[in-house]
Amino acid sequence: MNATPIKLPCPECEEGQLVSVIGNFETACDGQSVIVPNVAMECCSSCAESFLTPEGSQQVAEHLAKVSGSLEPAELKAFLEKYELTHREAATILGIGEKNFSRWLSGKQRISTSMSRYIRTLLVHPDAFETLRTRNWMSSEVAAS
Ligand SMILES: [Zn+2]
């Protein structure tokens, strides 16, 4: 009873069958090669092409967030709550697209290392957030006079 259930035909060669495997998945993160262990994939029996399952994609995203120190969706939610922002407001303030922001929140897309640092700084420094929100790049002393 060790037969793997047969899945869909391979979209790459359309000859082989996709079988479920657990293995190392190689990807790139900030220009560096990263190997993610024990990832759920589907591998073609004919051309050896492999595809990530939705579960595998999640595993890879989590692993990359860990190795790169990316902001996690929970921290992004904390950012929204701290400054009482809607998704649209947050996206406008950060200078990104609203769709992009949704993908970050759902964990579908990794937040880049630079953007993670940027948002973390804003979380710690409300005055920096205020400067960004109003886009008043002058010093507060100049702005106040
Ligand atoms: Zn194939």
The predicted-structure confidence for 79-132, as pLDDT tens digits, reads as follows: 999 999 999 999 999 999 999 999 999 888 888 888 999 999 999 999 999 999
Looking at residue 5, its pLDDT comes to: 54
Spacing, Cα 46 to ligand 1 middle (Å):
5
Domain membership flag for residue 4: no
C-beta separation of 68 from 29 below 8 A: yes
Q: Is residue 12 part of a domain?
A: no
User: Residue 141 C-alpha to ligand 1 middle, in angstroms?
Assistant: 65
pLDDT over 70 percentage in the chain = 90
Residues 58 and 100 in one domain: no
- CATH code: domain of residue 25: 3.10.20.860
**Model confidence, pTM:** 0.59
Instruction: Tell whether 133 and 91 lie within a shared domain.
Output: yes
Instruction: Provide the number of structural domains found in the chain.
Output: 2
Q: How far is the CA of 64 from the centre of ligand 1 (A)?
A: 27
